[in-house]
């Protein structure tokens, strides 16, 4: 069941929502040339404003050896906690809790658990992660801050493509910003020296309770020419509910190392 936890975490890298009072967005909006200053300003004016998210998600996972589907239940409180459970055939198998301090999970079949820092997530995704970066990806926001000093902009795929151009950067960050609502259409993290890249595509946006959110997300992670692909389909979502995050590792479970 470690593979389920790995899929959960990679999927968390871009969980966003669809449900509630949902309205489709017209896709004929045309991107017009804007300065970096204007794009950055509009982006920051349209960041996620809710305090909590509760969602039910269908996850499809494929790599060179495995194909797996399961249902994930997500609870998140902004800046504090990300809580998720995974069920297969209605049976809960894995529970995870991520806070700014640590990453924890346990699984029931083999009665094992893991507690550690964000190193394992960073290794899986090919870029350094902390809670804030993971939360930004979870909310459809850029994994690293965008500004008017270290990024250049061009029009691409009817979006504003922001690319970091600092020579010292050993990792490239590319963000395609939607010209209508200034949320992220796509983002990529490329680490050429390690032959790693992460691509996350937000295929469609809806308006949900006055927020723009994706309802279908496709994630591709490549390491040493090995491809992992995940598709997320959001079944139900609720904002700003009073949430709890129950998590206690059962007695007798054995610690494991993740790699």
- Answer whether residue 161 shows pLDDT above 60: yes
- Answer whether residue 16 shows pLDDT above 50: no
String of DSSP letters for 4-54:
HHHHHHHHHTT-----SSEEE--S-PPP----HHHHHHHHHHTS---SEEE
Range among 115-129, 172-186, 230-244 with highest mean pLDDT value: 172-186
Residue 6's pLDDT is 58
- CA distances in angstroms from 13 to 118, 165, 217, listed in the order given: 13, 24, 10
Structure tokens at 131: 């809670």
Domains of the chain: 2-235 (2.50.20.10)
Please answer whether residues 234 and 19 qualify as being in contact, where contact means their C-beta atoms are separated by less than 8 angstroms: yes
Q: pTM for the whole thing?
A: 0.83
- Answer whether residue 14 shows pLDDT above 50: no
**Terminal-residue alpha carbon distance, the chain:** 13
- Answer whether residue 104 shows pLDDT above 60: yes
Residue 159 to residue 187: CA distance in whole angstroms: 12
Residue 52's pLDDT is 93
Residue 211 to residue 89: CA distance in whole angstroms: 32
Closest residue by Cα to residue 17 from 247, 199, 183: 183
Q: Which residues contact 27 (CB under 8 A, 6 or more apart)?
A: none
């Amino acid at each position: 069941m470690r593979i389920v936890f790995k899929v959960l975490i990679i999927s968390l890298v871009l969980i966003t929502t669809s449900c509630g009072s949902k309205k489709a967005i017209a896709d004929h909006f045309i991107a017009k040339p804007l300065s970096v200053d204007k794009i950055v300003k509009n982006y920051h004016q349209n960041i996620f404003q809710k305090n909590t998210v509760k969602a039910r998600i269908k996850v499809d996972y494929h790599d060179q050896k495995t194909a797996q589907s399961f249902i994930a239940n997500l609870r998140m409180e902004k800046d504090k906690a990300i809580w998720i459970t995974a069920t297969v055939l209605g049976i809960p198998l894995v529970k995870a809790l991520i806070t700014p301090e640590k990453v924890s999970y346990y699984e029931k079949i083999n009665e094992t658990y893991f507690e550690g820092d964000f190193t394992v997530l960073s290794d899986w995704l090919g870029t350094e992660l902390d809670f804030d970066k993971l939360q930004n990806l979870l909310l459809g926001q850029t994994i690293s801050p965008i500004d008017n000093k270290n990024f250049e902009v061009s029009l691409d795929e009817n979006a504003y493509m922001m690319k970091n151009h600092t020579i010292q950067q050993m990792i490239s960050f590319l963000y395609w910003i939607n010209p209508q609502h200034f949320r992220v259409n796509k983002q990529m993290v490329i680490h050429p020296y390690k032959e790693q890249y992460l691509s996350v595509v937000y295929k469609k946006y809806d308006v949900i309770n006055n927020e723009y959110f994706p309802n279908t997300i496709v994630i591709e992670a490549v390491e040493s020419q090995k491809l992992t692909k995940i598709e997320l389909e959001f079944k139900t979502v609720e904002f700003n509910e009073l949430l709890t995050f129950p998590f206690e590792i059962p007695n007798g479970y054995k610690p494991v190392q993740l790699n």
